[in-house]
Structure 1
Amino acid sequence: MPFVSHAQNTAPSAARTTARTTPATQLRPVPQEYVHKLDAAEVLLTGWAPAGEDRVTVTARWPRGHAFYAPVTGRHDPMLLAETLRQSIPLISHALYDVPLGHHLIWQHFTFEVAPGAMFLDVGPMDVELRIACGDIARRGGRLAALTMDIEILRDGRHLGTAHTRFSSHAPAIYRRLRGDRCTPSGDTIPAGPPAPPAPVARAHAKDVVLSPMPEPLSPPLSLPHQWQLRVDQTHPILFDHPVDHAPGMLLLEAARQAAHAVQDPLGGAVFPIRFESAFFRYVEFDAPCVITAHVEPSAYPEGHLGVSVTALQEDNEAFSCRVTLARATR
Structure 2
Amino acid sequence: MSAPASHVKHPSHAAEASPPGPGAGGTGTLLARRPPQISGSTVPKELVHRHNPAEVMLTGWERRGGDSFGLTARWPRFHRLFADVNGCHDPLIAAETIRQAGSLLLHAEYEVPFGHQFVMWNLSVSTWRGPLAVWTTPADIDLAVTCHDVKRRGKALLGLRYEAVLRRDGEVVAHGGAAVSCVSPAAYRRLRAPQLDGAGPPLPLTSPVAPHEVGRTSPTDVVLSPTGQRGHWLLRVDTHHPVLFEHPVDHVPGMMLLEAARQATISTLGYTAPPSEVTGEFSRYAELHRPCLIEARRLPRRGVEESVLVTGEQDGENVFRSVVTLPPAGG
State TM-score, norm by structure 2. Answer: 0.86
Shift of 1:196: 0.8
Shift of 1:24: 2.5
The answer to whether structure 1 residue 111 and structure 2 residue 116 are counterparts is: no
Shift of 1:140: 2.7
**CA distance in 1: counterparts of 2:133 and 2:205, whole angstroms:** 34
Find 2:256's aligned residue among 251, 274, 279.
251
**CA distance in 2: counterparts of 1:330 and 1:152, whole angstroms:** 27
Q: Is the CA contact (8 Å cut-off) linking 2:98 and 2:177 kept in structure 1?
A: no
The residue number in structure 1 matching 2:82 is 69
- The 3 A distance-change label for structure 1 pair 247 and 193 is same
Q: Is the CA contact (8 Å cut-off) linking 1:185 and 1:244 kept in structure 2?
A: no
Shift of 1:22: 9.9
Shift of 1:184: 8.2
The residue number in structure 1 matching 2:186 is 173
The residue number in structure 2 matching 1:321 is 321
Unaligned runs of 5+ in 2: 11-35, 38-42
Shift of 1:314: 0.3
Find 1:206's aligned residue among 194, 201, 219.
219
Query: Residue 273 of structure 1: SS of its match in structure 2?
Result: coil
The residue number in structure 1 matching 2:31 is none
The answer to whether structure 1 residue 150 and structure 2 residue 163 are counterparts is: yes
State TM-score, norm by structure 1. Answer: 0.86
Deviations along 1:229-249, one digit per CA (max 9) or x if unpaired, are 000100001000111111000
The residue number in structure 2 matching 1:232 is 237
Shift of 1:60: 0.6
Unaligned runs of 5+ in 1: 1-20
Tell me the amino acid that sits aligned with residue 102 of structure 2: I
Paired residues in the alignment total: 298
Shift of 1:150: 0.9
Shift of 1:329: 5.4
Shift of 1:170: 0.4
**CA distance in 1: counterparts of 2:272 and 2:208, whole angstroms:** 22
Deviations along 1:40-74, one digit per CA (max 9) or x if unpaired, are 11111111111110111111100001111110000
The answer to whether structure 1 residue 290 and structure 2 residue 295 are counterparts is: no
**CA distance in 2: counterparts of 1:197 and 1:45, whole angstroms:** 33
The residue number in structure 2 matching 1:37 is 50
Shift of 1:328: 2.5
The residue number in structure 2 matching 1:16 is none
- The 3 A distance-change label for structure 1 pair 76 and 202 is same
Shift of 1:193: 0.4
Query: Residue 154 of structure 1: SS of its match in structure 2?
Result: strand
Find 2:66's aligned residue among 15, 29, 53.
53
**CA distance in 2: counterparts of 1:324 and 1:164, whole angstroms:** 15
Deviations along 1:264-284, one digit per CA (max 9) or x if unpaired, are 13xxx5422110111000100
The residue number in structure 2 matching 1:78 is 91
Tell me the amino acid that sits aligned with residue 211 of structure 1: L
Query: Residue 105 of structure 2: SS of its match in structure 1?
Result: helix
**CA distance in 2: counterparts of 1:123 and 1:185, whole angstroms:** 51
**CA distance in 2: counterparts of 1:180 and 1:49, whole angstroms:** 38
Q: Is the CA contact (8 Å cut-off) linking 1:64 and 1:123 kept in structure 2?
A: yes
The answer to whether structure 1 residue 24 and structure 2 residue 26 are counterparts is: no
The residue number in structure 2 matching 1:306 is 306
**CA distance in 2: counterparts of 1:147 and 1:169, whole angstroms:** 9
Q: Is the CA contact (8 Å cut-off) linking 2:7 and 2:59 kept in structure 1?
A: no
Shift of 1:185: 10
Give me the CA root mean square deviation: 1.9
**CA distance in 2: counterparts of 1:296 and 1:88, whole angstroms:** 31
Q: Is the CA contact (8 Å cut-off) linking 2:91 and 2:127 kept in structure 1?
A: yes
**CA distance in 2: counterparts of 1:241 and 1:119, whole angstroms:** 25
The residue number in structure 1 matching 2:40 is none
Q: Is the CA contact (8 Å cut-off) linking 2:266 and 2:272 kept in structure 1?
A: no
Query: Residue 303 of structure 2: SS of its match in structure 1?
Result: coil
**CA distance in 1: counterparts of 2:70 and 2:196, whole angstroms:** 33
Tell me the amino acid that sits aligned with residue 208 of structure 1: D
Tell me the amino acid that sits aligned with residue 302 of structure 1: G
Find 1:95's aligned residue among 108, 114, 126.
108
Find 1:134's aligned residue among 143, 147, 151.
147
Tell me the amino acid that sits aligned with residue 192 of structure 2: R
Tell me the amino acid that sits aligned with residue 56 of structure 2: V
Tell me the amino acid that sits aligned with residue 69 of structure 1: F
Q: Is the CA contact (8 Å cut-off) linking 1:61 and 1:125 kept in structure 2?
A: yes
**CA distance in 1: counterparts of 2:230 and 2:52, whole angstroms:** 38
Query: Residue 51 of structure 1: SS of its match in structure 2?
Result: strand
Larger RCO (CA within 8 A; separation ≥ 6) = 1
**CA distance in 2: counterparts of 1:39 and 1:184, whole angstroms:** 29
- Identity among equivalent pairs (%): 40
